[in-house]
Amino acid sequence: NAGVMQNPRHLVRRRGQEARLRCSPMKGHSHVYWYRQLPEEGLKFMVYLQKENIIDESGMPKERFSAEFPKEGPSILRIQQVVRGDSAAYFCASSPPPLSGANVLTFGAGSRLTVL
């Protein structure tokens, strides 16, 4: 029973290039969340998606960042024209439909983006 799979684990890009991070949710989970973590800091919410639907993107920067979760395939977090400030660990998490309870998130191992 594979958990949340993220790839690549490490990605190096030069300023101005594009970064694509992929996330396959845990089997049976239909909801995906992306979080960003800077060194020595907490997890900052970016976006919450269901299949073919963005539920909440209130944490996404307005420019250069986009996310999708197509009907087939993994969720993709795309960062265009990367800048050094985009260097961070990007964590994906998945859950069953969040009811009024705990909404326990299962996290992937993260993708570490370094922008040179």
Partner 1 sequence: GQSLEQPSEVTAVEGAIVQINCTYQTSGFYGLSWYQQHDGGAPTFLSYNALDGLEETGRFSSFLSRSDSYGYLLLQELQMKDSASYFCAVRFISSGSARQLTFGSGTQLTVLP
Task: Report the interface residues with partner 1, using CB under 8 A.
Answer: 4, 31, 33, 35, 37, 41-45, 48, 55-56, 58-59, 89, 91, 93, 98, 100-110
Q: Which is nearer to partner 1, 17 or 106 (CB)?
A: 106
Dihedral pair phi/psi, residue 76, rounded to 5°: -125, 130
Asked whether the beta carbons of 15 and 116 are under 8 A apart, the reply is yes
Dig out the tokens for 71 from the structure: 């009907």
Dig out the tokens for 61 from the structure: 């920067």
Q: Min. distance of Cβ 90 from partner 1 in angstroms?
A: 12
Please give the Cα distance from 77 to 92 (Å, whole number): 9
Q: Which is nearer to partner 1, 17 or 96 (CB)?
A: 96
Q: Which is nearer to partner 1, 85 or 101 (CB)?
A: 101
Please give the Cα distance from 13 to 106 (Å, whole number): 27
Q: Min. distance of Cβ 47 from partner 1 in angstroms?
A: 9
